[in-house]
Amino acid sequence: MNYTKLLFLLFILSSTIGLVSAAIDVSIVSPSSGWYNTYNILLNVTTNDYANVTFSTDVYAILTTVYRNKTQGDATLNNTYLIEGSNIIYVYAKNASNPVDLDISGVAGVNIDLSAPTWDQMPSDQVFEYGISSEYDLNASDLQTINYSVNDTSFSIDANGTLTATILSVGEYYLQINATDPFNQVNSTTIRVTVQDTTPPTWDQIPQNISLLYREILSYDLNASDLSGIDSYFINDTSNFTINSSTGLLTNATFLSNGIYFLNISDNDTQGNVLSEVIRIIVAECIEDWVCTEWGSCISSLQTRICSDNNACGTELSKPSESQSCSSGGEKDRCNSYWSCSSWSNCINGMQTRTCTDMNGCGGAVPDTERSCISSLATKQTTGSGGPKETNDLSPDLEKEETKITEEQKTVEESGMPSITGAFASNSSQQTEKKHSFITLIILLILICSAILAYVFKKPKRNKPQSFGF
């Protein structure tokens, strides 16, 4: 039998034996899938029959013996076979009595983590603005989940590594920031956070331009706000204006001349940040507004009064006189009499009436409000188609006089001449009454003379006795 036939027979024999015996079965007792903080991992393997067992990993392809002709054995793995991170272990078993009988088993996810987290970017010092909630994004990497922490409770950091600051006082804060993995492997770093205030104050109401009259008092209240507080108010023109450094009340330091003033108003906070606003103050010419008391009594031919300027302009360009001469000392103050009288009524029952008003309230003599009229010129009855009616039959002369007086009265009243009008109205009424009396007297004299003449001429003549001479 040649060598080739012998090998063939041996192969057939071994195959037959393998089919008859039970198949080899291998299983891994340890390690199981999970995280390990070491390379030294014990590999424990068992089989259901005597076998030769070897292993390899996904990073170590060479087979290494675990045991020979045993059903259970151990092997210690190390960094020769494993890497930091995820590993897969493969175990091979070959039946000791039947080399053709093979089995394989494996375990995946044997993860090695021996390092602390690493920063994606090294944390750096930060500057936060006072009064503004600020954030700083920190990022670290690790094979496992990272837990972030900070040593100052004025700050917080979330699971994503976002550092947040609440409203902090101005100053410097030194923070220790930690990135820790589940094996308590920590990467710590210290940064400085500076909280600064670079924001100037703000006006509660923006200052407005101002217009003043000459010698008018300025009082303007200014108010600003700031998180760190207002330190003081100040202005650039202290010759003409003053400002209360604490309250912001702006006033004039002196009476301002007419003109335009540009005033820079500023305030600063406790950190030295300045807020400024320029306003225009216009001082216009003052218009005098004088009011005076009543004239005093006439003493030694002089009356006085007091006049004051409501606008306090300080000038006396249009100031009224505060003294005047009067008639004589001790007399009552002079008053211009002015009586306004209506027209006379019709002549009824021998009388005419009118009303008179003291326009200036001076008092004194009242013009006549009643007067008699002549009955022969008064009312008489006339008969016509419409029956009897009453007429005022005055003589032409009296009608003209009455018309003249009425027209003159109206003219004077319309002209606004109080003293002359009163006197004229009174004199006109007296003159009319005198004229009526005069006419009445003339008529009576004429009648008397006529009667006398008639008597004289009608008296019988006596014959003168003849005388005879002897």
Is the CB of residue 213 less than 8 Å from the CB of residue 289?
Answer: no
The whole-model pTM stands at: 0.52
Enumerate residues 6+ apart whose C-beta is below 8 A from 45: 26, 27, 28, 29, 53, 55, 66, 67, 72, 73, 74, 75, 91, 93, 105
pLDDT at 337: 66
pLDDT for residue 416:
43
Q: What is the pLDDT of residues 53-95, one digit of tens each?
A: 999 999 999 999 999 999 999 999 999 999 999 999 999 999 9
- Reply yes or no on domain 118-196 having CATH 3.90.1150.10: no
- Give the range among 105-109, 111-115, 236-240, 407-411 with minimum mean pLDDT: 407-411
CA 157 – CA 180 distance, rounded (Å): 13
Q: Tell me, what DSSP letter sits at residue 327?
A: S
Contact 10, 88 (CB under 8 A): no
| In the chain, domain spans | 18-112, 118-196, 202-284, 287-334, 339-453
Q: Do domains 18-112 and 202-284 have the same CATH topology?
A: yes
CATH superfamily of the domain spanning 202-284 = Immunoglobulins (2.60.40.10)
pLDDT tens-place string over residues 300-330: 889 999 999 887 777 888 889 999 988 754 4
Q: What integer pLDDT is reported at residue 70 of this predicted model? A: 94
pLDDT confidence of 470, banded at 50, 70, 90? very low
- Name the more confident of 457 and 172: 172
pLDDT of 430 above 70: no
- Residues 254-267 have pLDDT tens digits of 988 889 999 999 99
Tokens 């094996």 locate to 183
- CATH topology for 18-112 is Immunoglobulin-like (2.60.40)
DSSP string computed for 273-321: -EEEEEEEEEEEPPPP-EEEPPP---BTTEEE--EEETT--S--TTPPP
For residues 214 and 226, is the Cβ–Cβ distance under 8 A? no
Q: Check whether 331 has a pLDDT greater than 60.
A: no
Q: What is the DSSP letter of 132?
A: S
pLDDT for the residue 424: 38
